[in-house]
Structure 1
Amino acid sequence: MKLIILDRDGVINQDSDAYIKTVEEWIPIPGSIEAIARLSQAGWTVAVATNQSGIARGYYSLATLDAMHARLRERVAEEGGEVGLIVYCPHGPDEGCDCRKPKAGMLHTIARHYGVALPGLWFVGDSRSDLAAAVTVNAQPILVKTGKGTQTAVGTLPPGTLQFDDLAAVARALLNSNTAP
């Protein structure tokens, strides 16, 4: 199985320090939907692992989050692809859960669901917590320079971190070269 795991906000859709609270605020980054569809069409399973503390903070409901994810699936389907498992952490940063990145609980959930090992799998994110979660499970940390990615790229990154301009560039690399895991 060819599996890639993506963070959501800042990788697939625009991010906001004020949180993405409605389906209307969920705006795909140009090229991201098409990138997911191209990967899917090429036999990749695309899973998503996303921190969603806005739920714990009361900014939006689980129903709203589900509607955002339904919209993501719908948009990718319109391009001829599909999104696999979407897992999220609804907890706040101080709740001490095992799922909130930089912890790797969501990555383990995805691995169990698909029956795969995490070492070497590509995990694409835009933040230090995304990269740290990848490193924790020996996945390949991938930094995109969308969302918080440009800020994250400043300073020291985990050894072996690959950097791309955006998710479309990640898809091109996987589909057009031998960079794939």
Structure 2
Amino acid sequence: MKLLILDRDGTLNRNRDDYVASPDEWEALPGALEAVARLNHGGWRVVLATNQSGIGRGTFDIAALNAVHAKMHRQLATVGARVEAVFFCPHAPEDACHCRKPAPGLFEQIGRRFGVPLAQVPAAGNALRHVHAAAAAGCPAHLLLTGKSEHLRAAPGSLLMANAPELAQLPPGTQVHDSLPAFADWLLAQDEPAEGRVVAPN
């Protein structure tokens, strides 16, 4: 089984300063839904791992989260794409749970549910905490320069801002991609030379 773990906010949909608390606030990033469709057609089963601390903070409830995901699934379906499951952490940071990224609990749950060794499961997201959670769980980690990492973009024509302090925080071996569509291109073309790829220093 080819299984892939993606972050949600800032990776699949536009990031917000607060929370995506209703379907009206969920807006897909350009090309993201189509990227999932291409991954699906390439044999990849896609699941999401997302922190949703707005539930623990009382900003929105499970019914609102389900409504957001219902919209997401409908929009994915319109382009022939599918997300198999959404694994989410509902806790606030002060709860000190094992499932809130950067802890690896969500990834471990996914590995158990699908019965796939996490070393064989790439994980891509736009936040450092997603990358750290993936690496802690043993997944090959990929950082996307969207959402929380969009500020790391360099001038047009080059991928990364030079000497950005966040780069020193990347787990060794982390690969960096411009966006979810760019990551999908890379993953679907593993037998071809991968251009524009950056690996964090060991």
What range is the shorter-chain TM-score in?
over 0.9
1:175 aligns with 2:195: no
Q: Which amino acid aligns with 1:38?
A: R
1:147 deviates by: 0.2
1:151 deviates by: 4.2
| Structure of greater Rg | 2
Are 1:12 and 1:167, in contact at CA under 8 Å, matched by a contact in 2?
yes
Q: Which amino acid aligns with 1:130?
A: H
TM-score (norm 2): 0.85
1:77 deviates by: 1.1
Partner residue, 2:65: 65
TM-score (norm 1): 0.94
1:161 alignment partner, one of 139, 163, 174: 174
Partner residue, 2:56: 56
1:117 deviates by: 0.8
1:29 aligns with 2:29: yes
Partner residue, 2:134: 134
What secondary structure, in the 3-state scheme, does the structure 2 residue paired with 1:102 have?
Answer: coil
Name the % identity: 42
Partner residue, 1:113: 113
Q: Structure 2, unaligned stretches of length 5 or more? A: 153-159, 195-202
Q: Which has the higher helix share?
A: 2
Please give the residue correspondences for 1:89-100 in structure 2 after superposition, counting only pairs within 5 Å. 89-100=89-100
| Cα root mean square deviation, aligned | 1.6
Partners of 1:46 and 1:9 in 2: CA distance: 15
1:4 deviates by: 0.6
What secondary structure, in the 3-state scheme, does the structure 2 residue paired with 1:10 have?
Answer: coil
1:6 aligns with 2:6: yes
Partners of 2:150 and 2:171 in 1: CA distance: 15
1:27 deviates by: 0.5
Figure out how many residues of one structure are paired with residues of the other and give that number: 180
1:42 aligns with 2:42: yes
Q: Which amino acid aligns with 1:148?
A: K
Partners of 1:111 and 1:162 in 2: CA distance: 21
